[in-house]
Structure 1
Amino acid sequence: MSKSLPSRAENYSEWYNELVKRADLAENSAVRGCMIIKPYGYSIWEKMQRALDDMFKETGHVNAYFPLLIPKSFLSKEASHVEGFAKECAVVTHYRLKNDPNGHGVIVDPDAKLEEELIIRPTSETVIWSTYKNWVQSYRDLPILMNQWANVMRWEMRTRLFLRTAEFLWQEGHTAHATKEEAVEETEQMLNIYSEFAETFMAMPVIKGRKTANERFAGAEDTYCIEAMMQDGKALQAGTSHFLGQNFAKAFDVKFLNKANQQEFVWGTSWGVSTRLMGALIMAHSDDQGLVLPPKLAPIQVVIVPIYKGEEQLNNIKSKIDPLVSALKKRGISVKFDISENQSPGFKFAEYELKGVPIRLAIGNRDIENGTIELARRDTRVKISLPFDGIEQVIVDTLEDIQTSIYQKALDFRAANTFEVNTWDEFLVKIEEGGFLSAHWDGSPETEEKIKELTKATIRCIPLDSQEEAGKCILTGNPSKQRVIFARAY
C-alpha cells in the first residue's frame, strides 16, 4: 500500500498489471499462462455472471453443461473451424500415470495411450452439435436455446491476466433454429443483450458491428461484435455473436422434419463473453489511484470507516451506523462497516480507494456531535460533509449518479478519440496517437491484411448503424461503399 501505482501515462501496461495484482483481483498460477482469480476479483465476475444469466433467461435460454474433453475426430468435421483453432488446442493422449521405476516421481504410463486423443475444449460447437443430432427430429424440437457457463483452454503464447490467458472462464450460447431468419434474429438479439449489459452494468460504451471475413469466427457465416475503447486508445472486443448458418448442422448431420414433412438442416448460432470483460472493466474506468468500479458491479458499494478512540466512542458510532447499515441492505446495497482494529483509518481509506469502492463514509466522535458524516466518491475523489439525517437517500442517489457519470466520462473519452480520416498519410499519423479511426476500405481481404502489416491496426468492425457513403479506400484509392472502424487492439 505504501508504494504508489505506476502512472497510466508513463507505462499503461505496467499500471494494468500492477493494479490487477495489488487490488487483489488475480495472480499468475503455477501453470504457465493460467491465472488464479482471487475472491475480490471473482466476486465482480459473479455479479457479471448473475446479471447476464438473468438477461439470458428472460429471453428463454436455459443452462446446461457439456464435457470438457472433445474427441479429436469431432474437430475434423468442420474444416474452417478446426483450421481456426488447431494451433491453440491442448491434447490429452494418455489416461494414466505410474511411479517412475527410477524413483523420479511419476511418469506417463506408455500402456495407457488413448485410442483417440481428446481435445480440451477451445470452444464447444463440435461436442454440442454432435449432441443436438440426438435431440432434434422434428420442427417441434426447435428452437434449442442453450447456454453453458464453463472454462475453456486456448494455448496462448503471450498472456496477460484477464485479457488473454490459456484457460479462462466464459459463457457460450449455442442455439438451433428451424429457419435462417430465426437464427439471424437470435444472433442480433444476443448482440443487443451484450451491448445492454456493457453499457448498463459495466458503464462502458460500445460500438455494435459486424466483423470482416478475415476476422470472422472460424466456422461462422457472419460474426457480430461489440467493441470498446480503453483509456490508452486501444480497442477491446468485449463480446461476439455468430450466425453459423447450417455449417455445423451439415458437419454433424443435424436434420429435422419441417412442417411440409421434408428433411432439412437446422440453422445455428453461438455467442459468448468471457473473463476478458474484467480486463475491459479495469481499463475503461480506473485511474492512477486504483480501481474505479461502477456501483452495479462493485462487490462493496459503500464502506463505512469509523474514526474513534476507545470502546465508548466506537459504541457511540455503532449506535448511529448500525441502523443505517440495515436500511441500506434492505435496499439491496452491499455495505461494509469496517471496525477492524489492525489497520488505521488512513490505511483503510487508501485500501478501499485502490479497490474501487464507489462510496466511502467516514464518521468520528465530532461528526456525531455535529450530526454530520463525510462522504467520498471514488469516481471524482470529492469529499463532502453532509447532515447525517437523510444520508440513506443521498447514498442511493449518489450511487445512481456515479453509475451514470462513469458511463458519460467513458463516452466523452471515446468521442474525443474517434477520428474520421480520408488519406493514408492522415491514417499513419492518427493511428500512432491511438483511438478509433473511421475510414474507407475497399472490401478486399488483401487490403485489410496489408494495412494490418503496415500499421498493426485491424478493422474492429463494420458498424451496424453506419450509412452507405461513397468514398475511396485510404490505402488503395479503390471505391468504397462505407466507413469501417480501424484501431490497434488487445
Structure 2
Amino acid sequence: MSQQGNKQAKKSGGKKGGKQRELAIAKRSEDYPQWYQDVVRFGELAEPAKVVKGCMVIKPHGYAVWEKIQRDLDGRFKDTGHRNAYFPLLVPMSFITKEAEHVEGFAPELAVVTQAGGVELEEPYAIRPTSETIIGHFFAKWIDSHRDLPLLINQWANVMRWELRTRMFLRTTEFLWQEGHTAHASHDEAEAEVLRMLNVYGDFAEQVLAMPVIRGTKTATERFAGAVDTKCIEAFMQDGKALQAGTSHDLGQNFGRAFDVKFQAESGELEYVWQTSWGVSTRLVGGVVMTHSDDEGLVLPPRVAPIHAAIIPIFRNDEQKAEVMVAAERIKAALSEIDISPPRARYRDFLEVALDDRDMRPGAKFYDWERRGVPMRIEIGPKDLEKGQVCLKMRVDTEAVSGKQFLPEAEFLASARQRLLDYQDALLALARARMAANTVTLDTWEEFEQTFAGDSSKFAWCHWDGTAETEAAIKDKTKVTIRCVPLPGYGPAPEPGVCIYSGKPSAQRVLMAKAY
C-alpha cells in the first residue's frame, strides 16, 4: 500500500478489530455499506469533508474518473446539438416559489443565503438545488419567435441539497452534475427530446461505465417536482438495490407559464414553450464502484479508468534495476501510444501508464494498484528480460479475459489494446449476468415479503394496480419502491394481471426494488 493510503487507513478508524480492521476491506456479504466506504477510501476516490456537513472531498483519482465521464458525455451532448452555458449559483427565492410543485418538492432540501456583506438581504437566495427556475427566467429573455427554437442548453455545475443521511458519491449535500435544459415549439418535439436524452444516458451507462440499466418511466409519485413526466435509467447494484443513474424530464408548459416564456408561432399567435430538463451526477462514480468492485477493492472499466496499466519493475540489485528500468520505460512508451477511444469520439483516449519505481516491496505495490482498480498490471524482472516476456495480470479474471499470464513482449504490446476492450466487454457481461441472476418475477404478496425480508433486495417484476395508495402502502411496509414502468424492450411486455398487494386488476408489470 502507498504511504498516502496507509496514512489514510490509520486515520479512518474501523468499527472493530483495531489496526487490522483499519487496513482491511470489509466483505460485501458481511457488511455491504462498510465495504462500499472501504472501497471508496482505499481506492483513493474521496473522503468525507467532516468540517462541512454532508459533503465530500473528491480526490485526484476519483475526480479523474468524473473527468472521463464528463468528457464522454459532453461529446454526446454536442453531437445532439446542445451547447454549454453557465448560470448563477444563487437563485432568488421568488423564482423557486413561482412553480408550486417545484417549491413543494425542493423546500426541505434548500440551503438559503439571508445575509451577505454583513447586512440582511432584501430577498434571500437559494443555493441552487437545480436550475429550472433561473434558466426559465433567462429563456424568457432569449426566446421571441419559433425561429429561436429549439433552444438546447447544457450546464456543468455543482448543486446543493440539504441531505440528512449522506454517503459519498451516492448522496451528498453538495455534488457535481450536468443539467440539460431545452425549449421547444411543440409537445411532440419535447417528448422526443426527453426520450433521445434518456437513450444517450442509457447508451453511455452500458458502453462507457459497463453498467446495464433498465429504461423506464417514473410513477407520478416518483417523478421530478414540477414535471409532467419523468423517464429514468435504473442500475442494479451488487446488494440487489437499485440506483437511479439518470433522469430525463418532460416539463410540459409548467415552467413556461411560471416564467412567461412565450414565442410567436408560425401562425402569428403567442404560445408558451414546451420544456425539458435532464441530468446525471457524480453518483455515477458510486454506481461504477458498486457495479464492478469486489472484496479486494476497486474495479474500474478501462473507459473511465484514470490509469489503464501499472508497470511493476522487479529487481534485487542496482545492476538488475538498470536493465529492468530500461525495458520498463520502453514498454511504458509503447503503451502510451495506444488509443482506445470509441469510434467517432470527439476525443482521443491514449493509455495512461504508471511506472511504479517506489522504494517498496513488489507485493505492496500489487496490493496498492489492485485497490485502486487499475485494469492491467505488468510485472517485469531479470528472468522476464532473459525470456523476452512480461507477466500480465488483469484486475479481474474472467472467462473472456485470463488473469495472470506470461507473454512475449511484442505479442503483449500488439494485443494490449484489444485486451483492454475485451476487459471492458467482460465487465459489462459480468454485470448483466449478475443482474439477470438477481431479477425475479413475483405474483404473490408472500413471495414479495420473502424476497424483500430484512435488508434483502432484488429486481422484481410485479403487477401494480396503478394507484398512489398501493404504491405508498408497499413502500411503508417493505421500503420497496416502484423504480419504473419499463419502456418497450426493457422489461416484460404488457399483460393483464392482478396487483401484487391489492389484488386489483393490473395492465402490466413494473420494476420494484429497494433503492439508494
TM-score bracket for the superposition, by shorter chain length = over 0.9
1:353 & 1:458 partners in 2: Cα distance?
Answer: 36
**How is 1:20-99 mapped onto 2 (pairs within 5 angstroms)?**
20-29=40-49, 30-96=51-117
Deviations 1:77-113 (A, max 9, x none): 10000000001000000012xxxxxxxxxxxx4xx10
Matching residue of 1:408: 429
CA drift at 1:278 = 0.8
Matching residue of 2:234: 227
State the SS of the aligned residue for 2:147.
helix
Matching residue of 2:338: 331
2:413 & 2:384 partners in 1: Cα distance?
Answer: 16
Matching residue of 2:395: 378
Task: Give 5+ residue unaligned stretches, structure 2.
Answer: 2-19, 340-349
Q: Is the 8 A contact 1:294 1:402 kept in 2?
A: yes
**Paired AA for residue 466 in structure 2:** G
**How is 1:170-249 mapped onto 2 (pairs within 5 angstroms)?**
170-249=177-256
Matching residue of 2:374: 357
TM-score, length basis structure 2: 0.91
State the SS of the aligned residue for 2:452.
helix
Matching residue of 1:345: 362
1:390 & 1:22 partners in 2: Cα distance?
Answer: 33
State the SS of the aligned residue for 2:443.
coil
State the SS of the aligned residue for 1:232.
coil
Q: Is the 8 A contact 2:389 2:407 kept in 1?
A: yes
State the SS of the aligned residue for 1:390.
helix
Q: Is the 8 A contact 1:81 1:219 kept in 2?
A: yes
Q: Is the 8 A contact 1:122 1:152 kept in 2?
A: yes
**Paired AA for residue 392 in structure 1:** L
Task: Give 5+ residue unaligned stretches, structure 1.
Answer: 97-108
Matching residue of 1:389: 410
State the SS of the aligned residue for 2:68.
helix
Q: Is the 8 A contact 1:299 1:334 kept in 2?
A: no
Deviations 1:218-269 (A, max 9, x none): 0000000000010000000000000101100000000000111111000000
Deviations 1:207-226 (A, max 9, x none): 00000000000000000000
**Paired AA for residue 505 in structure 2:** P
Matching residue of 1:489: 515
Moved more, 442-451 or 463-472: 463-472
2:425 & 2:234 partners in 1: Cα distance?
Answer: 20
Moved more, 371-380 or 265-274: 371-380
Q: Is the 8 A contact 2:335 2:353 kept in 1?
A: no
CA drift at 1:135 = 0.2
1:19 & 1:320 partners in 2: Cα distance?
Answer: 33
1:340 & 1:374 partners in 2: Cα distance?
Answer: 17
Matching residue of 1:444: 467
**Paired AA for residue 439 in structure 1:** C
State the SS of the aligned residue for 2:485.
strand
Moved more, 388-397 or 81-90: 388-397
1:394 & 1:310 partners in 2: Cα distance?
Answer: 31
2:465 matched to 1:457? no
Of 264, 272, 288 in structure 2, the residue corresponding to residue 257 of structure 1 is: 264
Q: Is the 8 A contact 2:313 2:357 kept in 1?
A: no
CA drift at 1:339 = 4.1
Q: Is the 8 A contact 1:210 1:225 kept in 2?
A: yes
Q: Is the 8 A contact 2:332 2:355 kept in 1?
A: no
1:477 & 1:339 partners in 2: Cα distance?
Answer: 62
1:335 & 1:364 partners in 2: Cα distance?
Answer: 21
1:247 & 1:434 partners in 2: Cα distance?
Answer: 36
1:393 & 1:439 partners in 2: Cα distance?
Answer: 49
CA drift at 1:328 = 2.0
1:218 & 1:478 partners in 2: Cα distance?
Answer: 28
Q: Is the 8 A contact 1:325 1:335 kept in 2?
A: no
**Paired AA for residue 454 in structure 1:** K
Task: State percent identity of aligned pairs.
Answer: 53
